[in-house]
Chains A and B, each alone.
Chain A
Amino acid sequence: MMDSIQKTLLEQVADLHEVPQGAYSIRVNGSLAGKNDSENISIVQKTDKPGIDIYVKPGTKKESLHIPVLLSQSGLKEVVYNDFHIGEDCDVTIVAGCGIHNSGSAESEHSGIHAFYLAARAKVRYVEKHYGQGEGTGKNVMNPTTIVDMAEDSYLEMETAQIKGVDSTVRSTTARLASGATLVVREKIMTHGTQFAETEFTVDLNGEGCGAHVVSRSVAKDQSRQSFRSMVRGNSACTGHTECDAIIMDDAQVAAIPQIEANHTEASLIHEAAIGKIAGEQLIKLMTLGLSEKEAEEEIINGFLK
């Protein structure tokens, strides 16, 4: 049974009010609180280290898997290894997320190490939300590492969001794509107070006709700091695009380094980066619709991170 704090965390990270339908694994305070296999998705607890192996049978369509992690015990630190083995021709949605409620003074930390192995033609939508709360002085720390291995003509869409309450995060994602594979990454980050967020993507476009879009949108408020680095390497006839778009406010700092490297004459790569404050004319336009300056600012940020 989950208490109300844990239920709030669950709602924030997975949009769930109770245990979900279908396959799921819920980890609460460092141990498995419940899991359910479906006919096509099996979840096996690792024996050599914390974490799970997830096996999705070839040909599984229109199924979803939820794997939220909740930490409500202050000072808990854990490293969890989750491996996703997605069979050929699958079409599945995976909803992951981590919610920390830290009411104490000790630092709570969750480091999820996720590895995705997509077989040929597998299609996966992966949604991950990170959220922190708590009245304590202890910091909420999340350091996710994601490793992606994509076979021929597979497709992975990663939507990651960290909007509130995470004091420090270092996110590292590496991906290797075989021919015809497509990777789409949409990252959204908002930092405030003295938070720190660093994200790093390394994508190797190895197979002919593969492609990647790595796009980050972020808002940095107060004295927070952000760093975005991406390296998209074109090692074949491929297309790659990496983009970072940040709104900077108050005394925040943002660094963006979207890097591209072509090792093949048929590689077509584009990078973009923009950092700036909210445009004055955007605020004015919304104020002429009757919004206060603060409401206008919120509306612009909400839209930007939608």
Chain B
Amino acid sequence: MLEFQNVSYVTADGKEILRDVSVRIADRFVAVTGPNGSGKSTMAKLIAGIYRPTSGRILLDGEDITQLSITERANRGVSFAFQQPVRFKGITVKDLISLASGKKISVAEACVYLSEVGLCAKNYINREVDDSLSGGELKRIEIAMINARGTKLSVFDEPEAGIDLWSFGNLIDVFRGMYERTKGTIIIISHQERILDIADKVLVISGGTVSAYGSKEEILPGLLSVQSACRAIKGASV
């Protein structure tokens, strides 16, 4: 279970991104949505330890992880898929998947993870994760890494961005498979209705605060009309 207790985040130049956010995420599959610039990515980075809250606490299964480093959180079972994956000269796809899984893995094992994200493994396994890969390919590899880690909490920052619609169905299957296998919690930041649709709960962030947290049946109808949604969501339980 992940809990934000009165978390605020203000940038070095004084811009307030999140304001007094308190939310308990006890469900296993939560989609986080909201307008651009509302603070969703910041929330994900606060979970991974890339940012530290200006005030407030973050708890993972009851343990206060607010002051833990990125590495310490990773080793406690937090995984984070970047919205814009990083490129590395000389490091291959297989190297990254091995690092993610925490052990030397066989080509066959790496292939399983790559096939799941719709990449033909033999074409990718020895490729360098550099400029020769497209943005969509990188996103898939990023998701494969999280899958290989198989930790108790996986956070994805807009995993669908840059992935073509043809294979979007596969992506949904990947999350479903991960949901079954890891028995952990999956948090996905997304604007895609199809992702919101498979989530247990939907968390709406707006203007740096939680504006709604509830089942998709409660939240989704309201999201269709932004103006009315904002009023409706504010009335919903948080």
Contact = CB atoms under 8 A, between A and B. Distances in A.
Interface of A: 217, 245, 279, 281-282, 284-293, 299-300, 302-306
Contact of A281 (B86, B100, B145): B86
Interface string B71-97: 100110011101001101111100110
Contacts, number: 59
Nearest to B99: A289
A147 to B, nearest CB: 30
B150 to A, nearest CB: 12
The interface residues of chain A, by DSSP majority, are classed as helix
Contacts of B88: 282, 300, 303
Given A287-B69, A290-B71, A304 B89 contact: yes
A256 to B, nearest CB: 16
A281 B80 CA distance: 13
Nearest first, the 10 closest Cβ-Cβ pairs linking A and B are: A303-B91, A303-B90, A287-B70, A290-B74, A285-B86, A306-B90, A304-B90, A288-B80, A287-B71, A281-B86
A288 B91 contact: no
- B contact face: mostly helix, strand, loop, or mixed: mixed
A287 B89 contact: no
A290 B79 CA distance: 9
B79 A303 contact: no
Interface of B: 48, 50, 69-71, 74-75, 78-80, 82, 85-86, 88-92, 95-96, 99-100, 102, 145, 149
6 contacts: A245-B89, A282-B86, A288-B79, A289-B102, A303-B88, A306-B91
A217 B128 CA distance: 15
B229 to A, nearest CB: 33
Contact of A292 (B50, B71, B89): B71
A231 B89 CA distance: 25
A289 B86 CA distance: 13
